[in-house]
Structures are given as C-alpha cells and as structure tokens.
C-alpha cells in the first residue's frame, strides 16, 4: 500500500505530524511498535505530572493544612492508588489519541519499522516480516530512550525513569544520579512519599542548564526539605552489597560512600535511531543524531526527521512544532521557522522551574549590556494568600534596545506563567509595553509585571 506520508513513531512529534498531514489532504499512515503517544504520554510527561500532583497535594496539606483550618494529623499515603491514578490518566489519553487517528482517517500500523531503499518500509512482528508499505514522504520521529551504561542494564536496583514510574513498593532510600528535569522531578516525588533521597550531580550546581540564581534557590529549597545534594561529585564505584546498592562518590569534601535500595540513573536520553535501517539507505548521522536542514530534510530526498532524533531541545512541545513545520514544508506552505531561543523549558518539581531565552551569564557572554531584576513571590498578594511564597521571577533586558533577553522563574505554577513571556518575546514586546499591560489582581502573573517594572525602577510593591 502506498501513502503520501508515513510517520515512524507516535509520540508528540509523530502523532501531531500525522494529524497535520491529514488536515492538509495527504493520505497518511503512522507506525508504532508499542503504545500510541510514545514516551511522553506513556512513560514521561503525562504520568510523571500525575505523580507529582499527588506529591504536591500531600506536601501542601502537610505544610499548610492547619493554617487553612484543615486538620492534617492523620494523613495516610495510598501508594498503589497514586500509581493507579497515573495509569488511568495514561490510558484515557491513549484512547484520546486513538480517537484522533480515526477522526482524521490516519492508518495506524503496529510493528517494528525497517526503512528500505526506494522509500519502502518493512513491518516486523516477533521478528517476522508481516507487511510492506511505501510513501512519497517518510518522517522519522522515533524519539529517545533513557541513557544508561551497559554494565548497569541488568541490575534491578539501578533503574531509569521508566521503572521509576511504577515501582511496586516505595524504596526507603534512593540515590539519583543527575539533576536535570527527570532527576529533579523524581527526587521531589519520592522524597514527598517518604523516601530518603540523595542527588549526585557532576556539575558544580544543581540543575546545570538553569540560571545560577534559580539553581541556588532550588538547592536551598531541596535541602530545606531534607533532600541530600552532592554537586561537583563524580561516581567512583557502584556495586551490590546484600540487599542494598552502594555508590562511592568523589566529592569536594573527599570520598563518600552512600547506600540505597534503588539508584535512579537520570543522566539524559539517547535517540532511537538504531535498527531502523538508516545505514541501508545512507541517512547521515552526526553525534548520534540524524542530520537535517532547516526544513527537517535529511540528506536523502523524501526522508525527514523531527523531535528527539535530531539535535534540537528534547522537549515534547518542540517535537510537536517541528512536526507541524515539517509537514507544512512538505506541502509547500510558507511556515514560520522555529526560534529555538524562545522555547520554554520547565521542571515540574516543587518549587517549579520555568525559563526561556538567555540566562544572565549567557547574556553577558554575548556582549549585551543588560538590566536584571527579580521580584519575589513573598511580596505578592496572591502568593501570600495561597501560602506559596517560595521563589521569584527574574527578567533580563538589553539596555540598548530594550529587548527581552530572558526570563527565569522558580515557584508555584511558574510553568503556566512562562507562556506570557514566550508570547511577549515572540511579538518583540519591550519593557514599556509590558509595564503598560494591565495584569489581573490578585494573580501570580503580577510577578512578571512587577519584575519588569523593577528593572526600570518602577515597581510599586518592592
């Protein structure tokens, strides 16, 4: 059977590409070897947010229940129900994607896809070739998998985010290696559930990609909660000892030996590009990623790649926008290219982190003369009334042209607030225009207005 477009992978890149292709009148098929929705829906974005929401509710009631007149002296955790809720949400959303496939007339193919020359794709199940398809255009959106050293892959005490989502029992102690979004979110979740959590980070700061002040505040907040943090620390040895796993680290304070029931390996992801036939058709690979041009074309005509398999930020919302652009380029539409410096990056721990644009250090390194300002949530009426005053909003402007270079937030619900900044930067809004925009009172969004105002000496409440 021949299609106009076939997409490999049904994650937030793949399924969005299939829907947009169908909307544009193309005969479309999507191939998925596991479950519709890919990693994001089944093992990443969605189930982790369900777990984290349970943790936040628990944390909030324990911390503030008495203040709001809610007695909280007999709170119990039903861990199995927390997991069940997460699984139910995943199942509901998976059915939603299945409905969208049917609604848009997309042919869903189940199995392992192997690319062949001549824009042909062979489908395998249980190592048997069950079908062959062809397409005018083929989009590779096979996503990524957790990065873990081979020697640890068969050790059940060393897990990745996939296993961390559904551990049958809460471990008494957990060591997390890496403090990116995955490591931070699971550190918060398991600590909230009562697990003794330690984080090991080889870089000098927690959350290495973040603005320095955000990283410092997060470290302070996590340590205040009781999470142990070892920055500038490297792994010397990991080995089993009786029922526990031992991690020996080299830290600025000398060698330290830690023990735990589980080690979460959270040092990143690696693209799913092996065993899908890329070599057979000559698709170019650079640094483990598929090489593409600005329109997501590979070096072989008719083949495209989007999402985690290419060297752009590994984020679900990035993959979805790349999917739309890729399909619209195939159709010959004049779509806007993505500004990768205006991509919001979020961590859904508590406090949450959200950022977009340059950090303060990056701004100075690029030669900008900048205005920098912060506004703390403890000076904001809505945050005070919610008893969620941790954190701040930090803004960075170019002093010469008043360009909004970056914004970095830490606190309650900042992952929702960041969208205002993304839109403002997209529209090239200046501080003058932000200060002149009325924000509702009381609201958390006032923190953005106040922070921008403060950069120019016009903050009313600071």
End-to-end CA distance of the chain: 66
SS3 breakdown of the chain: % helix, strand, coil, rounded to 5? 35, 30, 35
Note the residue count of the chain: 462
Whole-angstrom CA distances from 105 to 28, 36, 72, 223, 438 are 8, 15, 51, 51, 44
Q: Is 235 in a helix, a strand, or coil?
A: strand
User: What is each CA distance from 322 to 27, 36, 115, 307, in whole angstroms?
Assistant: 20, 19, 21, 7
Active site residue 441: yes
38-61 burial, b at 16+ Cβ within 10 Å, e below that, comes to bbbbbbbbbbbebbbbbbbebebe
Distance (Å, rounded) from C-alpha 443 to C-alpha 73? 31
Q: Where do we find the tokens 């479309």?
A: 28
Tally the C-alpha atoms within 13 A of residue 66's C-alpha that lie toward its C-beta.
Answer: 4
Quickly list DSSP for 138-194. EEE---EEE---GGGTT-TTEE-HHHHTT-SS--SEEEEE--SHHHHHHHHHHHHTT
- Torsion angle defined by CA atoms of residues 395, 400, 405 and 410, in that order, rounded to the nearest 10 degrees: -10
Q: 352-357 and 370-376: which strand pairing? A: unpaired
Q: Which of 2, 369, 441, 461 is catalytic?
A: 441
CA triple 433-436-442, angle to 5 deg? 125
C-alpha distances (whole Å) from 167 to each of 83, 159, 269 are: 9, 10, 20
Q: Which has the closest alpha carbon to 400: 371, 427, 436?
A: 371
List, as one string, the DSSP characters of 246-266.
EEEEEETTEEEEEEESEEEE-
Token pair of 453 as six digits: 């105002």
For residues 405 and 358, what is the distance between their CA atoms, to the nearest angstrom? 6
**Per-residue CA distances from 356 to 207, 265, 341, 376, 449 (Å):** 15, 27, 7, 18, 16
Q: List, in order, residues 6 or more apart from 461 with CB less than 8 Å away.
A: 379, 380, 450
**Quick check: helix, strand or coil at residue 221?**
helix
Catalytic positions are 441
């Amino acid at each position: 059977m021949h299609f106009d477009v076939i997409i490999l992978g049904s994650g937030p890149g793949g399924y969005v590409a299939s829907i947009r292709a169908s909307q544009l009148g193309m005969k479309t098929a999507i191939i998925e070897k596991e479950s519709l929705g890919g990693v994001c829906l089944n093992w990443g974005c969605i189930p982790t947010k369900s777990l984290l929401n349970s943790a936040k509710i628990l944390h909030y009631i324990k911390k503030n229940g008495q203040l709001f007149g809610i007695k909280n002296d007999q709170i119990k955790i039903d861990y199995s129900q927390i997991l069940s809720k997460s699984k139910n949400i995943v199942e509901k959303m998976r059915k939603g994607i299945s409905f969208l496939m049917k609604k848009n007339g997309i042919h869903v193919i189940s199995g392992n896809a192997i690319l062949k020359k001549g824009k042909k794709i062979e489908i395998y199940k249980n190592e048997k070739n069950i079908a062959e398809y062809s397409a005018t255009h083929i989009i590779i959106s096979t996503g990524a998998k957790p990065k873990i050293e081979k020697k640890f892959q068969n050790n059940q005490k060393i897990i990745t985010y996939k296993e961390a989502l559904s551990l049958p029992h809460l471990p008494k102690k957990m060591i997390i290696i890496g403090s990116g979004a995955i490591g931070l979110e699971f550190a918060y979740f398991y600590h909230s559930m009562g697990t003794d959590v330690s984080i090991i980070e080889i870089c000098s700061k927690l959350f290495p990609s973040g603005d320095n002040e955000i990283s410092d505040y997060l470290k302070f907040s996590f340590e205040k909660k009781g999470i142990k943090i070892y920055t500038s620390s490297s792994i010397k040895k990991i080995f089993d000892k009786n029922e526990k796993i031992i991690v020996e680290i080299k830290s600025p304070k000398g060698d330290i030996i830690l023990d735990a029931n589980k080690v979460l390996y959270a040092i990143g992801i690696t693209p799913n590009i092996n065993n899908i036939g890329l070599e057979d058709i000559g698709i170019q690979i650079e640094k483990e990623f598929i090489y593409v041009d600005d329109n997501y074309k590979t070096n072989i005509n008719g083949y495209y790649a989007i999402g985690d398999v290419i060297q752009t930020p590994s984020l679900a919302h990035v993959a979805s926008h790349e999917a739309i652009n890729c399909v619209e380029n195939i159709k010959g539409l004049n779509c806007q290219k993505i500004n990768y410096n205006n991509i919001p990056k979020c961590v859904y721990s508590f406090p949450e982190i959200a950022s977009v644009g340059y950090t303060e250090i990056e701004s100075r390194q690029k030669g900008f003369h900048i205005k920098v300002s912060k506004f703390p949530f403890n000076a904001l009426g809505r945050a005070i009334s919610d008893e969620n005053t941790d954190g701040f909003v930090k803004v960075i402007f170019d002093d010469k042209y008043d360009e909004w270079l970056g914004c970095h937030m830490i606190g309650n619900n900042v992952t929702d607030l960041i969208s205002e900044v993304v839109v403002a930067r997209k529209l090239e809004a200046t501080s003058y225009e932000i200060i002149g925009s009325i924000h509702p009172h009381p609201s958390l969004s006032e923190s953005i207005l106040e922070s921008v105002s403060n950069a120019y000496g016009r903050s009313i409440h600071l």
